[in-house]
Chain A
Amino acid sequence: MSISHSIAPYYKVMIERDSCKKCKRCTTHCSYGALSYNGERIIADNSKCVACQRCVIMCPAGAIHIIKNESFLPPHGNYTRRIRNAIWAQSGNGGVLLSAAGNDREIRSIFDDLLLDACQVTNPSIDPLRETIETKIFFGRKPSKIDFKRDTMNPNKICLKTEFMPNFEVDMPIMVGHMSLGSISYNAAMAIYQACKELNILAGSGEGGLHPDFYEFGSNIITEVASGRFGVDINYLHNAAGIEIKIGQGAKPGHGGHLPGEKVNSLISQTRMIPKGSDALSPYPHHDVYSIEDLAQLIAALKEATRYKVPIGVKIAAVHNSAPIAVGIVRGGADFLTLDGFRGGTGAAPRIIRDHAGIPIELAIAAVDERLRKENLRDEITLVAGGSIRYSADLIKAIALGADVAMCSMPVLIAMGCRVCQQCFRGLCSWGIATQQEYLVKRLDVDVARNRIINLFHSWNEELKEVLGAMGIDSVESLRSNRDRLRYIGPNPKIAEILGVKHAGE
């Protein structure tokens, strides 16, 4: 790249020279090569800094500060720094820009425009510290009705006639989203699975196969069958609480998974059943699913392979046409349906897709829930919704809009230590989460990470109970689709209309 086309870095590493002890600890901790020691002092290459905060936390003298490099471009409201940077990068390397984490554009969050109802006078609120409030849910398909037959001779004899499909009981309406071993490290995956087992909730395996060490957590894992079929064998199918066919992901609708070759070491190569160092690029569509009837066949095949013992579901990215697609999927035999909104996370995705494709999860939940109800299918399936469930408020609102379970990943990563630097695709995660380099992976203490995830979801569930109590509801199933308890305060009444939510004050 010519010098006249280089760009000023985003961040600036400030080192307090008076405090710096020159211990050089920061230079070993910076996995991005931004810090080095020149024999006299620590020097920083600002262009390599990703603001991951590792050096800031690890400096024993507290001498390092990362600040935003503010004043370098002539201002322009339309050609923002973000857009100019993208043009510079592309005219330099001629490639598709990669990115990670979720869509980081400052698009207004609909969740933040929704307010919750609470009881006053006419109905008493419930104190969750004194009374039972239930958050258990059943994951899987339910019949539309249950048939009982009363004995004609003895009216006290009743026979239950309906045969039930497999359901998995979870103690909270929360699920950890699909992050593959490969996108995240062995230690990160281990911490997640241990936490989920302890909490009795579900975690997604992602599409990277299941390492034999994780088989013992199978009863809390939904394994994923994606277009690349990475790691899919009979053990993988049989060591799962449920299986999800991944059609799409919120961060990259219309794309398959991307795992850069940098992250494919021998562990990943074994688990995924691919050569070391090769990019694992899942095909964009499943090449055996070109239409809805093909999907129905794949669902049936997986049900056969698992002897009808576990629920089989389908994940789609939230797109304009999600509602009719969802109906097709349910009619095709899926036991659960996962919707992933446009803010959903990723370990690696083309930035153009991550930032511009798909629709917000709030609208997708509302549209899909409504459409499934019109076809009288809604209560038969479990609807999982993800795509930026950031904290318990989002979870509560997602359920009130119509989801059975809220799925999230980024909060789990943040709980483990992620600083959201969005460099996951490079495999250099200095916190040992989104990397496969052994010296980095070792930095993540599994026990600590596990406990922090347990704490996080425990507190979310308590907050859910607090809100239910304030609403005078003693079980989470009475919150589901209860849009009556939501109000909209955003700027666009059309959104409220699509959500089926009244405006605040109405």
Chain B
Amino acid sequence: MYWKNYTSLPKQFRNERVFDGCGISGYMNIDGKRENGKKIIDMITILNDRENGLGAGFAAYGIYPEHHDCYALHFLFDDEPSKSNVLDYLMDVGFIVQSEAIPTKIPPNVDNPPITWRTFFHPQEKKNLSEDEQVLQIVMNINENFEGAFVMSSGKNMGVFKGNGWSHEIAEFYKIQEYKANMWLAHSRFPTNTPGWWGGAHPFNLLNTCVVHNGEITSYGTNKRYLESFGYKCTLHTDTEVIAYLFDLLCRKHEMPIEISSIALAPPLFKEIERFEKNYKIALKNIRATYRSAMLNGPFSIVVGLANPIPTMIGLTDRKKLRPLVIGVSEDDNTIYMSSEEASFRRLMLDPNINFALKEVWHPKSGTAIVATMGRGLSRNGLEKPLEKIELTIEGDN
């Protein structure tokens, strides 16, 4: 592990963006049953060809049931003064329900580890600003303006644990095995042109949205400038950040159904759209026209976790499927697995302590979302045409 660069990139690298190749994994229990981190650790660590020890992380949903209505802010701090600055600021803008260190296992030879901290927080009530919007602004402000502080995650009843090291080291450092979650995401990383920093590891989070990403967004400049006009600040020097913000913008702010927002991000080709019937054609064309700056270009596969209104896990690849993604469903239909490679699933099969068997394993189509929702199950399997199974009507149109 690298015991430096916790909350920001080293100065000489700040003008650069991090390009990386990665392993991604995730799973969700449809019935909401919480499981410890053992499985997700196995799933991600087996993909060690996809990492080089320069960053890994985990996102866990449903880990703080006792504080489920508070925003769980996960922090990395360089030192005590940075921590007290942020906590003072939080007390100015809201209420801290509980504040404590995130338990870690620091190797004996480390002098200057980061301070890992979590705060359960409520913003002040404001008439013209929703709680989510306030927390978003607070997070953006801390990450942009507070030296020595970094917010890893800011959702409710969930948290992100990440750092600069191999995935097995990060898992051990944060004691991932001890958390119980109903949805897990994990990431391991192979960055190519910077030494990596703790905050720059995945998952990227904003409120309840978490993204793990393998690939490179060639439309980054377009997406970034689009998001900036909605008040998002892209300060983390990586393209994954824009994916998290785009999901936040489309799913939360624009209240768009997941089936539609995944189309906005990876839309069908115009020649395919022409083959649709009237309502669908109108909808698809206007989604492309209106959200032309939200479209993600370049190679990517992502797994996204959302928690509002219902916990949801989404898998998506680019329109040409230049990065891998494979899906598996457990025999009892209760658990949906996603990973860069099938090796993750096979690793679990080798474990004599868990009775692991998959009913089906498949590769989703390019640019087609896989959607699993807690309580409902798999609503889209990644093999459908855009808007298949959706009955689309247009208001005022008979």
A residues near B (Cβ < 8 Å) are 119, 121-124, 126, 131-132, 134, 136-138, 142-148, 150, 154-164, 167, 169, 373-376, 378-379, 400, 471-475, 477-485, 502, 506
Cα(A131)–Cα(B225), bound, Å: 27
Are A156 and B390 neighbours in the complex by a CB distance under 8 Å?
yes
Cα(A142)–Cα(B264), bound, Å: 14
Are A146 and B270 neighbours in the complex by a CB distance under 8 Å?
no
Known: A148-B256, A482-B221. A379 touches B391 (CB 8 A): no
Cα(A115)–Cα(B283), bound, Å: 37
Are B225 and A123 neighbours in the complex by a CB distance under 8 Å?
no
**Closest residue of A by beta carbon distance from B271:** A132
Known: A119-B218, A122-B192, A126-B320. A472 touches B297 (CB 8 A): yes
Cα(A136)–Cα(B295), bound, Å: 14
B216 within 8 A of A: yes
Which of B192, B228, B297 meets A473, CB within 8 Å?
Answer: B297
Q: Which of A375, A379, A483 has its CB near the most chain B CB atoms (within 10 A)?
A: A379
CB distance from B312 to the nearest CB of A (A): 12
Residues of A near B215 (CB, < 8 A) are 123
Q: Which of B260, B270, B290 has its CB near the most chain A CB atoms (within 10 A)?
A: B290
Are A472 and B225 neighbours in the complex by a CB distance under 8 Å?
no
Are B298 and A472 neighbours in the complex by a CB distance under 8 Å?
yes
Cα(A471)–Cα(B230), bound, Å: 26
CB distance from B51 to the nearest CB of A (A): 15
Are A373 and B225 neighbours in the complex by a CB distance under 8 Å?
yes
Q: How many residues of B contact A (CB 8 A)?
A: 57
Are A150 and B257 neighbours in the complex by a CB distance under 8 Å?
yes
Cα(A126)–Cα(B319), bound, Å: 12
B299 within 8 A of A: yes
Residues of B near A157 (CB, < 8 A) are 390-391, 393
Are A123 and B298 neighbours in the complex by a CB distance under 8 Å?
yes
Are B322 and A124 neighbours in the complex by a CB distance under 8 Å?
yes
Are A167 and B391 neighbours in the complex by a CB distance under 8 Å?
no
Are B224 and A136 neighbours in the complex by a CB distance under 8 Å?
no
Can you report 15 residue pairs joining A to B where beta carbons are below 8 Å apart?
A123-B19, A123-B215, A132-B269, A134-B269, A146-B286, A147-B254, A148-B255, A150-B257, A158-B259, A373-B228, A473-B298, A477-B295, A478-B219, A484-B220, A485-B218
**Closest residue of A by beta carbon distance from B220:** A484
- The interface residues of chain A, by DSSP majority, are classed as loop
Which of A480, A483, A484 meets B293, CB within 8 Å?
Answer: A480
B111 within 8 A of A: no
**Closest residue of B by beta carbon distance from A123:** B216
Are A482 and B395 neighbours in the complex by a CB distance under 8 Å?
no
Are A154 and B391 neighbours in the complex by a CB distance under 8 Å?
yes
B residues near A (Cβ < 8 Å) are 15, 19-21, 192, 215-216, 218-222, 224-226, 228-230, 254-257, 259-260, 269-271, 279, 282-283, 285-293, 295-299, 319-320, 322, 376, 379, 389-396
Known: A124-B322, A148-B256. A475 touches B225 (CB 8 A): no
Cα(A480)–Cα(B376), bound, Å: 39
Which of B20, B297, B391, B394 meets A474, CB within 8 Å?
Answer: B297
Residues of A near B319 (CB, < 8 A) are 474
Are A160 and B392 neighbours in the complex by a CB distance under 8 Å?
yes
Are A160 and B394 neighbours in the complex by a CB distance under 8 Å?
yes
Which of B260, B283, B293 meets A481, CB within 8 Å?
Answer: B293
Q: Which of B20, B228, B376, B393 has its CB near the most chain A CB atoms (within 10 A)?
A: B393
CB distance from B397 to the nearest CB of A (A): 9
Residues of B near A484 (CB, < 8 A) are 220-221, 224
Are A160 and B293 neighbours in the complex by a CB distance under 8 Å?
no
Are B19 and A122 neighbours in the complex by a CB distance under 8 Å?
yes
Are B391 and A478 neighbours in the complex by a CB distance under 8 Å?
no
CB distance from A270 to the nearest CB of B (A): 39
Residues of B near A138 (CB, < 8 A) are 285, 288-289, 292
Are B320 and A474 neighbours in the complex by a CB distance under 8 Å?
yes
CB distance from B283 to the nearest CB of A (A): 5
Are A158 and B392 neighbours in the complex by a CB distance under 8 Å?
yes
Are A136 and B298 neighbours in the complex by a CB distance under 8 Å?
no
Q: Which of A143, A155, A502 has its CB near the most chain B CB atoms (within 10 A)?
A: A155
**Closest residue of B by beta carbon distance from A377:** B229
Are B257 and A163 neighbours in the complex by a CB distance under 8 Å?
no
Known: A134-B269, A475-B295. A142 touches B290 (CB 8 A): yes
Are A482 and B216 neighbours in the complex by a CB distance under 8 Å?
no
Residues of A near B225 (CB, < 8 A) are 373, 481, 483
**Closest residue of B by beta carbon distance from A171:** B270
Are B192 and A379 neighbours in the complex by a CB distance under 8 Å?
no
Are B290 and A123 neighbours in the complex by a CB distance under 8 Å?
no
Which of A137, A373, A479 meets B229, CB within 8 Å?
Answer: A373
Which of A134, A375, A482 meets B219, CB within 8 Å?
Answer: A482
Known: A123-B216, A378-B229. A475 touches B297 (CB 8 A): yes
Are B286 and A156 neighbours in the complex by a CB distance under 8 Å?
no
Are A131 and B320 neighbours in the complex by a CB distance under 8 Å?
yes
Cα(A320)–Cα(B228), bound, Å: 24
Which of A146, A150, A161, A483 meets B221, CB within 8 Å?
Answer: A483
Known: A124-B322, A472-B218, A473-B219. A146 touches B292 (CB 8 A): no
Known: A472-B297, A480-B222. A136 touches B390 (CB 8 A): no
CB distance from A327 to the nearest CB of B (A): 13
Are A159 and B394 neighbours in the complex by a CB distance under 8 Å?
yes
Residues of B near A167 (CB, < 8 A) are 289
Are B229 and A478 neighbours in the complex by a CB distance under 8 Å?
no
Residues of B near A378 (CB, < 8 A) are 229
**Closest residue of A by beta carbon distance from B264:** A146
CB distance from B169 to the nearest CB of A (A): 24
Residues of A near B288 (CB, < 8 A) are 138, 477
Contacts A148-B256, A158-B393, A484-B224 aside, 8 further interface pairs with beta carbons under 8 A come to: A131-B320, A142-B286, A142-B290, A157-B391, A160-B279, A478-B297, A480-B292, A484-B221
Which of B19, B218, B295, B390 meets A471, CB within 8 Å?
Answer: B218
Cα(A477)–Cα(B299), bound, Å: 16
Residues of A near B394 (CB, < 8 A) are 159-160
